[in-house]
Chains A and B, each alone.
Chain A
Amino acid sequence: MSSHYEAPIREPLILGEKSYHDISVDVGAPILGKANKSWWIVFSIALIAFLWGLGCIVYTVTTGIGVWGLNKTIGWAWDITNFVWWVGIGHAGTLISAVLLLFRQKWRMAINRSAEAMTIFAVVQAGLFPIIHMGRPWLAYWVLPIPNQFGSLWVNFNSPLLWDVFAISTYLSVSLVFWWTGLLPDFAMIRDRTKSPFQQKIYGILSFGWSGRAKDWQRFEEVSLVLAGLATPLVLSVHTIVSFDFATSVVPGWHSTIFPPYFVAGAIFSGFAMVQTLLLVMRKVVNLENYITIVHIEFMNKVILLTGGIVTVAYLTEYFIGWYSGVPYENYTYLSFGAATGPYWWAFWALIICNLIVPLTLWVKKWRRNIVWTFIVALIINIGMWFERFDIIVICLSKDRLASSWSMFQPTFVDIGVFVGTIGFFFVLFLLYARTFPVIAQAEVKSILKSSGARYKRIRESGED
């Protein structure tokens, strides 16, 4: 230990008198124990919401897309709003596990597992919308360039909607592999700790026979680093491609070169908000307060502040360019004087208040470190980022170039039901995950125990070693 230098200014990342064994016990507890009543209650609610959403999806597909509130002017509304929202939420997980790995941020270790799980589950929700918003979803396989009977009729690679297919599917598969690779040592830990033969069997399969040899670890680290290097451009490109759905169009308010970076910033902004929402509850329920500490929460709040600031700058830029361009059509874009005072004024101001004003409170250290306030802000940001996508899509479409095509969008219960259903599905998956997967990457946390554990910091400071 004497050879180790750690700046005394850094706050400990693992609280309590934790040993390696304590970490294993704490991480394994939810999996090896039984679910309590409140878990079952929450799970049932989520399941009901999911089933209700499933019914709405079946109703949509069997009856037709006309059961939604879309009209001829506004062909995209809640469907694509929710799609972009869910994809955006997914981005925080990859950012935490990949980008923060490249930047050697030790505080990511307690949160990356759950953040990645959130990514996977959010991308699954997002992936539903491109399919169910199709008029003929049973022909969805036509988006793939497969040799066929039609004289090898292929897809047009010029459409960002096709890029979406590649982006989302690649993103999901890479995230899944990255996540699973990291899970191998943790599954092996559960396999070795459980007394139930059934769990031994299951986790034996899931851990792919991980035995933790030096060579395995060396390769494990290399693979993690390579995947992190691959996932980082994915984080940027996937949401960039999603933003191209709008940016490459000719619709005033959509056709904008700022969209790619601005969407990515918004994605990380909303993704971190969702991580906060989930982890603040989880650390309490699963007793992980010693691992997901107030320091982690503050760091995440700082990322929220940063990305929220970028988003704010983008809003101001959009508003400014809308005026500066001198194009009259820009007067009705989602960030314009027309939008602020028009029929969708409430959506405009919801966006401004939720994304621009409320997060500013996080500049105050006291509030930033306040768990309750953090939770409230995170929820508000999630709502605000939903409104951001809604505003971009619906406000810009509702008042386009021809005044004769101006229209308003009114969601039906099916629109809402499908959205509620995806939230339910997300929580069904996340709750199951929290009961069966090691929610903290114990192998990684063990690697920082002696550098960042509270006990070892105290020992170093007292000069005992």
Chain B
Amino acid sequence: MKQGKYLNSASRFSLITLALLLSFSSIVFAQEATADEGAAESETTAAAQGGDAAAGKALFNANCAACHKLYSRATGPELYNVTERRDRDWLYRWIKNNKELRDSGDPEAIAIYEEYNQTAMNLFPQLTNADIDDILAYTDTPKPEPKAPVNAGGGAQGGGGGVSSTIILAILAVVLVMLVAVLFLVNNTLRKFAVAQGVELPVKESRKPIWKAFVENQFLVLVCVIVLLLGGAYFAYGWMMQVGVDQGYQPIQPIHYSHRIHAGDNQIECKYCHSSARTSKTSGIPSLNVCMNCHKSISEVADQTSEFSSVTEDYSKEFYDKEIQKLYKATGWDPATQSYSGETQAVEWVRIHKLPDFAYFNHSQHVSVAGVQCQTCHGPVEEMEIMYQNAPLTMGWCINCHRETDVKMDGNPYYEKIHEELSKKYGVEQLTAAQMGGLECGKCHY
């Protein structure tokens, strides 16, 4: 599936502007809202249980979030309202040293331990009772209501603009058609009146048809032929020059993986997943264990209520959650039992950037040695919802960069001697890749 990259740039531009405007306003509102909420909550909960939910949130994120979630099971059980289910003193003991509690033969503790496949929880002896109170205060925070009304309002406004403009255009078109019809009718009626009154209408002289006049004008014909030939040559050459160029190639992947969410919104460093770019000629697709490092505890995307939400109009939370389930299916992960079933199925990603095998390209040489930014060749990946090929990857494209790019000599002892000699030879301060021999056939094609 090929898609033009900038086909809907106009609408995208307007959307982005709108989104920017909205986000500014909503950020301001959100800050106020959370501040208010937090203040109110902390007052009530602190009064009731003697804990500070805001401080508890920080502690929770630092110590517990790796295994626990508030409203759903993770490695450990969900913690919302745990204070209602368990005795507070029991919780103190459990959190500080659950092993001791289990060893003491506490039936509740052993039951939990068995329920979670004998996965031992970390010990937190450093937490004071006050800290634990704070955390528990935080765990009692009820699930916030979706901020749907605000977003929906914005969405409706944004969408309304698009819909209404087409409607207006349609109305205008109808009006235009009606005007033409009315004019025609008026003209007809007037003519009939004139005939009835005996007024003679001027008869149009039959003129030479325009095509005949054109054919008889040799100069015009010649100019047109030349223009047509030049135009034909232009399009023929243009067509041939794009044969074998896959720029904009955007296939459907087996899992809807969004670089926008991972590399853009969450700012995961490119080389976290594509780690072999530093050391290998192939910057491979990350294996699924890299996915599971995080997705063991992230089984759902943040919904609209969260400030971390990446859900868009085009892709809902349900859509993304279903895609994460595909990952679990591939790795054999069961989020309910928090365990691997052992049934795995490799994800058959569709490769987008393909060079023929007679071209040798080495990622590490470009990434680690030359320090080329990922975006230089792959484009703004962090903005791509679906990955596409940004550069043409033709030889001319490679050559061009080698002609223009300076070699990074600083701090590389390999280049000390050669830099000096070659700089003298070419009379330059900085050597381009071409001057280093980066255009020789054998460098890429052996």
Q: How far is the CB of A326 from chain B (nearest CB, A)?
A: 38
Q: Is the CB of A151 within 8 A of B245?
A: no
Q: Which A108-165 residues have C-beta < 8 A from chain B?
A: 148-153
Q: Which residue of A lies closest to B402 (CB)?
A: A151
Residues of chain B lying within 8 A (CB to CB) of residue A150 = 394-396, 399
- Residue interface bits B378-416, CB-to-A below 8 A is 1, else 0: 000000000000001011111110000000000000000
Q: Is the CB of A151 within 8 A of B400?
A: yes
Q: How many residues of B contact A (CB 8 A)?
A: 11
Which residues of A have CB within 8 Å of B244? Answer: 149
Residue from A148, A149, A152 whose CB has the most chain B CB atoms within 10 Å: A149
B442 to chain A, nearest CB (A): 15
Nearest CB in chain B: distance from A151 CB, A: 3
A-B pairs with beta carbons under 8 A, tally: 21
Q: Which residues of A contact B398 (CB under 8 A)?
A: 151
Query: At the interface, is chain B mostly helix, strand, loop or mixed?
Result: helix
Interface centre among B244, B395, B397 (most CB of A within 10 A): B395
Is residue B7 within 8 Å, beta carbon to beta carbon, of the partner chain?
no
The residue of chain A having its C-beta at the shortest distance from the C-beta of B439 within the complex is: A151
A153: chain B residues at CB < 8 Å are 395
Cβ contacts under 8 Å, B203 to chain A? none
Chain A hits for B241, CB < 8 A? 148-149
Could you tell me the distance between the alpha carbons of A150 and B445 in the complex, rounded to whole angstroms? Answer: 13
B148 to chain A minimum Cβ distance, whole angstroms, is: 51
Return chain B residues, CB-CB under 8 Å to A149: 241, 244-245, 392, 394-396
CB distance from B434 to the nearest CB of A (A): 10
Bound-complex Cα distance A298 to B396 (A): 61
**B397 to chain A: which residues have CB within 8 Å?**
151
Shortest C-beta distance, B104 to chain A (Å), equals 76
Chain B residues whose C-beta falls within 8 Å of the C-beta of A151 in the assembled complex: 395-400
Q: Please measure, in the bound complex, the distance between the C-alpha atom of A151 and the C-alpha atom of B433, giving whole angstroms.
A: 15
CB B391 to nearest CB in A, in angstroms, measures 13
Contact flags B237-248 to A (C-beta < 8 A → 1, else 0): 000010011000
- Distance (Å) between the CB of A148 and the closest chain B CB? 7
B395 surroundings in chain A (CB, below 8 A): 149-151, 153
Interface centre among A151, A152, A153 (most CB of B within 10 A): A151
Partner of A152, one of B245, B392, B396: B396
In the docked arrangement, what's the CA distance between A149 and B245, Å?
9
The docked-state distance in angstroms from the alpha carbon of A151 to that of B402 is: 11
Additional A-B contact list (8), CB under 8 Å, known A150-B399, A151-B397: A148-B241, A149-B244, A149-B392, A149-B394, A149-B395, A150-B394, A150-B396, A151-B395
A-B contact pairs, 18 of them (CB 8 A): A148-B241, A148-B396, A149-B241, A149-B244, A149-B245, A149-B392, A149-B394, A150-B394, A150-B395, A150-B396, A150-B399, A151-B395, A151-B396, A151-B397, A151-B398, A151-B399, A152-B396, A153-B395
Q: Which residues of B contact A (CB under 8 A)?
A: 241, 244-245, 392, 394-400
